[in-house]
């Protein structure tokens, strides 16, 4: 098949899967109507056909970690929520999530010992400043950073120049999503029926 005929591929986090009901829940964040993913997510309707590959499994919280640090914006919210659901009871998790305002926050469920800081763009709160000013957890730390590249890249750099670089066994994964223009983001939840 020629490359121009290949399907457009994007990676999303499956929030839940109910085999008995034939349902899958995926959270989408719409960063405006530019690019591929934004217009698609705005137009998606229950019953639309999706093609799946995977699972990718690029990130999963390490069960051996003494603590976890999760950093991101709306683009990372589904992955952060899924990660929180997988961290064992009582394990410390420090999460820093940037959204436009309080209306963009969502309920997060975990048995972990969660310290959550919502940062609101509309109030001038900055993700990088919050992460750079935070105390690094003790012990072996597993970190995850994801979001708009320009906003999250400096967060990952913080760890290589701070006390975090001397932390035992610090493992991190930093990824970015290129978003050319910041528009008001809108989180959209969709339930899709998986054809059986």
CATH number at residue 87: 3.40.50.80
Question: Same domain, yes or no, for 41 and 83?
Answer: no
Has residue 151 been placed in a domain? yes
Question: Same domain, yes or no, for 94 and 160?
Answer: yes
Has residue 7 been placed in a domain? yes
Confidence band (pLDDT; 50, 70, 90) for 173? very low
Report pLDDT digits (tens) over 152-164: 666 665 554 444 4
Confidence band (pLDDT; 50, 70, 90) for 93? very high
Has residue 149 been placed in a domain? yes
Question: Same domain, yes or no, for 149 and 188?
Answer: no
Task: Write out the residue range of the structural domain in which residue 165 sits.
Answer: 67-177
d(Cα 74, Cα 61) in Å, to the nearest integer?
A: 19
Domain count, the chain: 2
Question: Same domain, yes or no, for 119 and 39?
Answer: no
Question: Same domain, yes or no, for 90 and 172?
Answer: yes
More confident residue, 184 or 4: 4
Report pLDDT digits (tens) over 98-142: 999 999 898 899 999 999 999 999 999 988 889 888 888 888 888
Cis bond upstream, residue 85 (ω within 30)? no
Question: Same domain, yes or no, for 105 and 152?
Answer: yes
d(Cα 73, Cα 76) in Å, to the nearest integer?
A: 5
Q: Could you tell me which residues come within 8 angstroms of residue 43 by beta carbon, excluding any fewer than 6 positions away? A: none
What is the percentage of the chain residues whose pLDDT exceeds 90?
23
Has residue 62 been placed in a domain? no
pLDDT of residue 25: 76
Q: Is 68 exposed, middle or buried (0-12, 13-18, 19+ CB in 10 A)?
A: buried
Using an 8 Å Cβ cutoff, are 50 and 25 in contact? no
Question: Same domain, yes or no, for 39 and 117?
Answer: no
Short-list 99, 80, 189, 95, CA closest to 151? 99
Has residue 71 been placed in a domain? yes
Report pLDDT digits (tens) over 74-91: 878 888 988 999 999 999
What is the percentage of the chain residues whose pLDDT exceeds 70?
68
Has residue 136 been placed in a domain? yes
Mean pLDDT of the chain: 74
Using the 8-state DSSP alphabet, how is residue 86 labeled?
Answer: H
Question: Same domain, yes or no, for 101 and 158?
Answer: yes
d(Cα 130, Cα 125) in Å, to the nearest integer?
A: 8
Has residue 103 been placed in a domain? yes
Report pLDDT digits (tens) over 63-75: 999 999 999 888 7
Confidence band (pLDDT; 50, 70, 90) for 165? very low
Question: Same domain, yes or no, for 49 and 78?
Answer: no
Has residue 24 been placed in a domain? yes
More confident residue, 72 or 15: 72
Question: Same domain, yes or no, for 23 and 97?
Answer: no
Confidence band (pLDDT; 50, 70, 90) for 53? low
Confidence band (pLDDT; 50, 70, 90) for 6? confident
Question: Same domain, yes or no, for 31 and 87?
Answer: no
Question: Same domain, yes or no, for 72 and 162?
Answer: yes
């Amino acid at each position: 098949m020629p490359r121009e005929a290949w399907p457009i591929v994007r990676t999303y986090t499956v929030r839940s899967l109910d085999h008995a009901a034939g349902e899958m829940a995926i959270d989408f964040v719409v960063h405006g109507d530019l690019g591929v993913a934004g217009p698609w997510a705005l137009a998606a309707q229950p019953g639309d056909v999706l093609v799946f590959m995977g699972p990718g499994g690029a990130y999963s919280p390490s069960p051996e970690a003494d603590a976890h640090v999760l950093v991101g914006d709306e683009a990372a919210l589904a992955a952060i929520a899924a990660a929180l659901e997988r961290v064992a009871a009582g394990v410390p998790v420090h999460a820093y999530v940037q959204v436009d305002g309080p209306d963009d926050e969502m309920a997060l469920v975990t048995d972990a010992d969660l310290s959550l800081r919502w940062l609101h763009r509309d109030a001038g709160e900055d993700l990088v400043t919050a992460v750079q000013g935070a105390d690094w957890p003790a012990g072996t730390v597993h970190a995850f950073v994801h979001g708009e590249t320009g906003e999250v890249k400096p967060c990952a750099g913080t760890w290589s120049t701070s006390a975090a670089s001397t932390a035992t066994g610090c493992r991190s994964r930093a990824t970015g999503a290129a978003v050319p223009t910041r528009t008001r983001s809108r989180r959209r939840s969709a339930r899709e029926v998986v054809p059986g």
